[in-house]
Amino acid sequence: MNRTAFKMKLKPGCEAEYKKRHDEIWPELAELIKDSGVSEYSIFLDRETNILFAVQKQSGNQSSQDLGTNPVVRKWWDYMSDIMEVNPDNSPVTVSLPEVFYLD
């Protein structure tokens, strides 16, 4: 089982809307993510910087960030683009974070 972590950036004032949208995540998106082998996916917010910190476990080599060719994911990116920093294709700007310590 692999673990990956990455960060994204939320636009100021969008915390409540971000949480609401994720509380109501589309069932087909959640299923797609799980079917790709991703589990224990958490996103945390640093309110001082609006940085979102995400961590997930993967049973294979694919993370949720590798699903960008799927139409459901593309639609989600479009839906989220007004409240996050995004790339020209509306994918979230993400920065991978290397693991430097793990205690099991």
> pLDDT tens, 4-45?
999 999 999 999 999 999 999 999 999 999 999 999 999 999
What is the CATH classification number for the domain harbouring 54?
Answer: 3.30.70.100
> Known catalytic residue: 1?
no
Contacts of 14 (CB under 8 A, 6+ apart): 83, 84
Contact between 12 and 83 (Cβ < 8 Å): no
> pLDDT tens, 19-28?
999 999 999 9
Tell me, yes or no, whether 101 lies in a domain: no
Record the pTM.
Answer: 0.89
Domain around 26:
2-96
Tell me, yes or no, whether 102 lies in a domain: no
Active-site residue identified among 2, 22, 87, 97: 22
Tell me, yes or no, whether 36 lies in a domain: yes
